Structure 1
Amino acid sequence: MSRSPIVIKVGGALLDDAAAMTRLFLSVKEVQKSRPVAVVHGGGPLVETLMASLGLKSTKIDGLRVTPDEHMPYICGALAGSANKQLCAAAIASGLTPVGLSLLDGNMVVCEPLADKYGAVGTPATADASFLKSVLAQSVLPVISSIGSSAQGRLLNINADQAATVIAELLDAELLLLSNVDGVLDGNKALIGELDATRIEEYSAAGVIVDGMKVKVDAALQSANTLSRAVYIASWTADITDILNKNTGTQIIPCETSSLNGVLGDNE
């Protein structure tokens, strides 16, 4: 089997499903015998709950959460703290050896502010892979939160899909975007095995791919184009080997003519 790494992105909703976390990490443990694995996570639900409990208003522009700098200590606490350590603890319970990281560690990723109107929201770019590769070489599991930093030391909130894409780019890895759905379904609720930009447009126009799934598919297409390789949308309860063998999930195929702009989403 190929030794190329696998990057798995999970949304924050996984934290509310202990059984799914266990299944995922047991699957990771099996795959780790033959290939390095890294997990990248968001934590949107956790952030929303924390913001509400603190009486802090959370607003969005174009679907992207506006993040004032004064909110970053709380968002860092939720993502790099609570979410990250809950996932690490679940990994330990499954017999893995995790190491909790953020995008800003080890000069892996450099981030820049997106635009003033979004506040402390950033865009990531690859920097130096040597630290992360040395971690993977020790057969441990990096669990990476989507918190980054600018070169000037400003903490930045990074979209979790973009965070996973940049880590996959850094490692030349396969990317799996896992959530609580089996993949993309057609009009008859049957799983679609493969989609390219043309078919995504057709299904979207027909009202088959809509709402949250449209955001997910567009983000996956952007990731596929960035990586120049297929990206998988699948369930976090599925066996990772089954996903890679195309027995489940949906492959999103890159297309050179597809736009690489405009899909931001949220740190879900």
Structure 2
Amino acid sequence: MSLSPIVIKVGGALLEDEQAALSLLTSVGEVMKTRPVIIVHGGGPLVETLMAALNLPSQKIDGLRVTPDEHMPYICGTLAGSANKSLCAFAIRSGLTPVGLSLLDGGMVSCEPLDEKYGAVGVPAANDPTLLKSLTSQSLLPVVSSIGSSDSGRLLNINADQAATVIAQLVDGELLLLSNVKGVLDGNKQLIAELNQQQIDSLVDDGVITDGMKVKTDAALLAAASLGRPVTIASWDANINTILNKDTGTRVAP
């Protein structure tokens, strides 16, 4: 039986750290000798920079970026264009053969608008794994941006954690949420190896898990519940095999 694919979600900030990106992708190459890997990425910092440069307002409701349809050409160009191709270029430098994709390619993921108050923000659902399975069977590295489309062809901005979860559902993969933190830390700044919903709630109540880490643990809990398997929060500075061997990172149980 072939091993299930690894789905790695990285934030857009990785693109601003050349050494970290090259180190991660070299590590991905090692993993790809034994099992397929798919990368899903966001690009929030890049979008913020562009919006500021264009003097376009950046509004959030409940932590979600409000995305007017007239902003989508810029967001699409940033995420599916410059962010995606920069990551693909790092993959090439690391000796890999990437294929840059968006959620809308090959009917992989179907999306529908979340709520009109958010504009062109969508909710993804797993649809057809044929394209991804074809690419990974040829030892290619799919690099997927979080841009989707409705059935009517309306471009939609998708939360990258949700996008990565749906891709993991699509290929029955193991999901790693990687960022610039090594995992969830306890009150003494020590890494916690495993957490469940009850333990996370307790750490939130105690003020140990706050802000950005709460966003990550919420995303991991949702992903673990929908995948029916643990999801790992870890650092993109860590070797992927080290994460898979449970030697670093925090595993969040469903």
State the TM-score bracket (shorter-chain normalisation): over 0.9
2:227 equivalent to 1:227: yes
One-letter amino acid of the structure 1 residue matched with residue 62 of structure 2: D
1:244 CA drift (Å): 1.1
Task: State the Cα distance separating 1:47 from its structure 2 match.
Answer: 0.2
Q: Provide the residue aligned with 2:96 in structure 1.
A: 96
What is the TM-score of this pair, normalised by structure 2? 0.99
CA RMSD of aligned residues (A): 0.8
For 1:211-222, list aligned pairs within 5 A. Answer: 211-222=211-222
**Quick one: which amino acid aligns to residue 54 of structure 2?**
L
- Bigger mean CA deviation after superposition, 193-202 or 237-246: 237-246
Matched, 1:189 2:162: no
* Distance of 1:13 and 1:130 partners within structure 2: 30
Q: Which runs of 5+ in 1 are unaligned?
A: 255-268
* Post-superposition offset of 1:66: 0.2
Which secondary structure does the structure 1 equivalent of 2:178 belong to? strand
Q: Secondary structure at the residue paired with 2:124?
A: strand
Residue of structure 1 equivalent to 2:48? 48
Moved over 3 A (4+): none
**1:41-86 deviations in Å (ceiling 9; x for gaps):** 0000000000111110010001100000000000000000000000
> What is aligned with 1:62?
62
Deviation at 1:141, TM superposition (A): 0.3
* Structure 1 range deviating more: 126-135 or 153-162: 126-135
Name the residue aligned to 1:253.
253
The alignment's TM-score, normalised by the length of structure 1, stands at 0.94
Query: Deviation string for 1:80-113 (max 9, x for gaps)?
Result: 0000000000000000000000000000000000
Secondary structure in 2 matching 1:80: helix
Instruction: Measure, in 1, the Cα distance between the counterparts of 2:2 and 2:18.
Output: 30
Match of 1:20 in 2: 20
Q: How many residues align?
A: 254
1:75-224 alignment, distance < 5 Å = 75-224=75-224
Structure 1: how far apart are the matches of 2:2 and 2:52? 45
Q: Distance in 1 between matches of 2:153 and 2:12?
A: 25
Q: Which string of whole-angstrom CA distances, capped at 9 and with x for unpartnered residues, describes residues 192-251 of structure 1?
A: 000000000111101110111011111110010010100000000101111111100000
- How far did residue 3 of structure 1 move? 1.5
List runs of 5+ in structure 2 lacking aligned partners. Answer: none
